[in-house]
Structure 1
Amino acid sequence: MTNFTQSINFPGSLPLTRNLLAAACFFAMTQASAAGFISDVKQISDQEVRSGEGYYRADGKWLVYQAEVAGENPFYQIYLKNIASGEVQQVSPGIGKTTCSWVHPIQEKVLFSSTHEDPEAKAKMTTEIEQRKSGQRRSYAWDYDEFYDIYETDFAGGNIRNLTHTKGYDAEASWSPDGRLIAFASNRRAYSEPLSEAETVLFSNDPSSMIDIYIMDADGSNVKRLTHTNSYDGGPFFSPDGKRIVWRRFSENGQEAEIFTMNTDGSDQKQITRLNKMSWAPFYHPSNQYIIFATNVHGHRNFELYIVDIDGKKEPVRVTDEEGFDGLPVFTPDGQYITWTSDRTPDHKGRLFHGKWDHKKALESLGLE
């Protein structure tokens, strides 16, 4: 297991590490770049090759995220940060790929997806390392590895338990606010159910086409499929009151995505955005009044953060205005701060950023009480 300490804590404004002093002017520039919604912007991860997709426990005392750390594994692993001490502990096994972590709202447990039980996991790690050493550059593409399963583990990375045990991509999981349910995305039906000839061709060309939203009890039982499309439904998160789920649905050609919400039983599926672009990574503000998400309405590779009311009746409002990628936004449980993933770094690799959130301005911009 990897254990290291980062000296930037949050919320608040503490001194930067020596590694970040050289980028102080850069940070000062980012503080004025968030259209007034975000202030006191700081990079809060710097010791990894790249990092992102951080989520808080309900008490705000822990942050779980994924990161690549120099070593024998070139893929993301899962790390848990103690906000008070700044100590960071690896909680995933260290073999294979991992993604999409979450912290239990009450218990000391972490949820994430991993391929460490893939018999070829170590071989794939070696192949990836050699590929990178060769200097060959590949366009970024998400991996729908059929060996991804959803696991839970304790804060020390022990007592790991497979909750899905099903062939196919099982990932993008999160606990409900009371910890009783898990929403997740999966293309398991492509491996277990008969497909039409057209579906077989579609899945062969695009494994994400069969990904739907599912819900299950926290122990992995009572699995229920909530969406029924031949396009990618993924990234589900529960609303603060636990009554609804927000997610993003791709178009059938995979070129666009919009934000949707539904009841936790799959009923009342409601489209929230109509931007006809790639809108994804939605997340509720703890007030349950609006949703923040990322979209590329300003350019194919220029993802910015936007907010929209939970009913989609208002025009979405732009939050960030930096070139490059700003995405995967989450709010602290008290709603006063925001953490997101951005490549607004000198090396243009994804890192976690954090800033103070102006909730009042958000409400005013959307015309909400």
Structure 2
Amino acid sequence: MASETQEGWRGWREATQEALYGSGGFYRTAPEGPAGHFRTSVHASPLFAGAVARLLCRVDAALGRPASLAFVDMAAGRGELVSGVLAALPAAVSARTRAYAVEVAGRPEGLDHRIEWRAEPPHGVTGLLFANEWLDNVPVDVAEVDAAGVARRVLVRGDGTERLGGPPTGAEAAWLARWWPLAGEEGLRAEIGLPRDAAWASAVASLDAGLAVAADYGHTAAARPPFGTLTGFRAGRETRPVPDGSCDITAHVALDAVAAAHAERCAPGHTPPPALTRPQREVLRALGVTGARPPLALASSDPAAYVRALANASRAAELLAPGGLGDFGWLLQPVGAVDAAALLVDVADDEEQ
């Protein structure tokens, strides 16, 4: 390992950690925040925050409407989602909600005073923990098959140049064998998701009861991308990943491995309630985001309302679009006596709580 770090060569996990979260890292220094470099569901439309608020209301009802209800926004950026959720909540729910934004960057000026800004999620809370495009930015090492058919760690320098190092060992090798085995074809790649599994299990463990959601581009064992997904984003465009702090570095998430990590962390003999993995378009439709165009008759009876409804339909369509944001995977991981599937059944009194 020591020889691999000579002359600036490092594994992708170490290099990405410094490039994104070090003292001069992308997420600490980009003045415009993530929104200046890539478009997420949060930035696409306030309908997304409205749907998450509706989900929080359903979690609240499933928990028996506790006196203190938490909403934890992981990787909160500049607080866009948590602010939108608070604004969309019914007054009765809002009055009982404690809002937390978890982010490595400093607190933005002008943020709602009700939002507690933290570097780590609070522990012992009850409610909804929501991680929108968080896990894809948890740094991972990369493995690639060499000409002899052996999987080796990919090393990188600060300018993005790569070379192959030694084979993965220990827990990383075991993770690859279980979750992303690489056949002997030269050039096949895998992102070793072990750090994401640990990060997710730790985040879920911060809840005493409720629901944890990870919304991300992801994949499962049935359809792993053969050459991996590691990439960069800068100023709204996908770019070559270079670990120098100038761009976001991301890779899709092995959602099945992440889901299993929480279950395996539970105490022996304790079986947690089942998790669900569903595409974003399915979940958002269940939460009231349909993309349906308003009836033409509304254009005559109330032109302003028709224009607003038409705009909302367009925004909803972006959130639901196949090949785009609609392809995000949502992992819904319940904690305690919460039925994740029941939360996706239409509830008539969502707005009456």
Fold match by TM threshold 0.5: no
Q: Which has the larger radius of gyration?
A: 2
Shorter chain as denominator, the TM-score bin is under 0.3
Q: TM-score, normalised by structure 2?
A: 0.24
Q: Which has the higher contact order (CA 8 A, sep 6+)?
A: 2
Q: Which has the higher helix share?
A: 2
Q: Which has the higher strand share?
A: 1
